[in-house]
């Protein structure tokens, strides 16, 4: 009995040590971050902001599960163009804002609605204090947690940008047909490494893609040889040549609504839906990291949280560079 108690104590102590180490790593990442951002930025001005956003996010997810992927994707698309400044949320009556660009036409309305609801709830509690950019950053973390993914500290203190231009989008978002070198070039603009690319791509463990974004792999002759043959036939059934333009396929055929490392196992099995997914396994530079994340979910979670924190520092607006919008879809 004493032996088993000692073994149990060792197991508990080991888990505690791992938890402490991960916490210290995340805190060190935050500590060396953008000086304009900090955890608990609203501690004195809106102390309940994170719980308010979380409750709104959870309520929205209970209505529709696609809230998870659409909110997370909205954060990515915002940060990659003009930085994390909520510029993608702006509505333009003339159709010339970021969200009007062709690259953003596939953004689901549920993400926009999630942020709008959360911002309204925050405004009720703390009017004119919390930016839309910060609300989106918190919501992006919360949908990951709600899907079973890792929690992490969100640095806050962003202002909302004063520019949202359709013409600024081209060339700044990773396209589904890119190879690894092209992905590296896009991510490098935001100070993100190859490991960050592979970790953030793991967000494709949730969500779906329109047939048009991968039909080139199916309609070629021969069919893309990096596709698992059985998987390719399944995709052809769901996305024939005359497929409905609105038809979508889950990015992760294994666990489409759970944030886990199944995405990387899919890549190993030739079941990466997009070219930009499967290339992470077929390219020798990124393949070892894919294998690592497929084997260890904790390694993936650690890398993903680090990459999300780094991404959240992109293009931060302060001072006269931005404002705190009352309505996220309109400049003040």
Query: Known catalytic residues?
Result: 77
Tokens in use for 134?
A: 């910060």
**Three-class SS of the chain:** CHHHHHHHHHHHHHHHHHHHHHHHHHHHHHHCCCCCCECCCCCCCCCCHHHHHHHHHHHHHHHCCCHHHHHHHHHHHHHHCCCCCCHHHCCCCCCCCHHHCHHHCCCCHHHHHHHHHHHHHHHHHCCCCCCHHHHHHHHHHHHHHHCCCCCCCCCECCCEECCCCHHHCCCCCCCCCCCHHHHHHHHHCCCCCHHHHHHHHHHHHCCEEEHHHCHHHHHCCCCCCCCCHHHHHHHHHHCCCCCCCCCEEECCCCCCCCCCCHHHHHHHCCCCCCHHHHHHHHCCCCHHHHHHHHHCHHHHHHHHHHHHHHHCCCCCCCHHHEECCCCCCCCC
Q: Count how many Cα atoms sit within 13 Å of the Cα of residue 196 in the half-sphere of its side chain.
A: 19
CA 147 vs. chain centroid, Å, equals 12
């Amino acid at each position: 009995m004493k032996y088993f108690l000692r073994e149990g104590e060792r197991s508990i102590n080991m888990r505690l040590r791992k938890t402490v180490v991960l916490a210290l790593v995340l805190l060190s990442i935050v500590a060396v971050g953008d000086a304009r951002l900090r955890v608990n930025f609203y501690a004195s001005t809106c102390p309940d902001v994170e719980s308010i956003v979380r409750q709104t996010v959870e309520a929205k997810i209970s209505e529709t599960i696609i809230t998870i992927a659409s909110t997370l994707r909205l954060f990515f698309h915002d940060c990659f163009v003009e930085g994390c400044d909520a510029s993608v949320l702006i509505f333009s009556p003339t159709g010339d804002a970021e969200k009007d660009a062709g690259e953003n036409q596939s953004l689901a309305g549920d993400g926009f609605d999630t942020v709008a609801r959360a911002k309204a709830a925050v405004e009720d509690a703390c009017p004119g204090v919390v930016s839309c950019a910060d609300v989106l950053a918190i919501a992006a973390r919360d949908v990951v947690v709600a899907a079973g993914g890792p929690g992490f500290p969100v640095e806050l203190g962003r202002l909302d940008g004063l520019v949202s231009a359709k013409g600024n989008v081209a060339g700044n978002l990773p396209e589904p047909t890119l190879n690894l070198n092209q992905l590296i070039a896009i991510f490098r603009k935001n100070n993100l490494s190859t490991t960050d690319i592979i970790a953030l791509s793991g967000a494709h463990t949730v969500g779906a893609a329109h047939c048009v974004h991968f039909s080139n792999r199916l309609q070629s002759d021969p069919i893309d040889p990096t596709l698992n043959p059985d998987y390719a036939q399944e995709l052809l059934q769901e996305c024939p040549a005359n497929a409905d333009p609105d038809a979508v396929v889950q990015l992760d055929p294994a666990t489409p609504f759970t944030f886990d490392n199944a995405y990387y196992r899919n890549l190993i099995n030739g079941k990466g839906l997009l070219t930009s997914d499967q290339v992470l396994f077929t390219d020798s530079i990124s393949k070892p990291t894919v294998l690592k994340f497929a084997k260890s979910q904790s390694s993936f979670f650690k890398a993903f949280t680090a990459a999300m924190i780094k991404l959240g520092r992109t293009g931060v607006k302060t001072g006269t560079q931005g404002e705190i919008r009352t309505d996220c879809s309109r400049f003040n």
